[in-house]
Amino acid sequence: FFTILRNPNSALEKLDITGIAINDSIMISIANSLARNKKLIELQAGLLNWNITADGWRAFSRTMCNKSSILSTHQSNHTLQKLCQEDMEIALPADIRSLLVVNREHRSQAARHKIIKSHFSGSHVNIQPFAKMELKVIPFVLAWMAQDSVINTNTGWGNGCSLLYQF
State the average pLDDT over residues 23-46. Answer: 90
pLDDT one-digit tens code per residue, 5-16: 888 788 999 999
pLDDT at 139: 81
List phi, psi (to 5°) of 59: -65, -40
State the average pLDDT over residues 88-115. Answer: 89
d(CA 109, CA 128): 23
d(CA 135, CA 158): 29
pLDDT at 155: 45
pLDDT confidence tier of residue 148, bands split at 50, 70 and 90: low
pLDDT confidence tier of residue 158, bands split at 50, 70 and 90: low
| Least confident piece of the model among 40-54, 81-95, 123-137 | 123-137
- Contact residues for 71 (Cβ-Cβ < 8 A; gap 6+): none
Asked if 100 and 113 touch (Cβ cutoff 8 Å), the reply is no
Asked if 65 and 58 touch (Cβ cutoff 8 Å), the reply is no
Question: What percent of the chain is modeled with pLDDT above 90?
Answer: 36
pLDDT one-digit tens code per residue, 42-74: 998 876 678 899 999 999 999 999 999 888 999
d(CA 8, CA 5): 8
| Least confident piece of the model among 15-29, 94-108, 130-144 | 130-144
Mean confidence (pLDDT) of the chain: 82
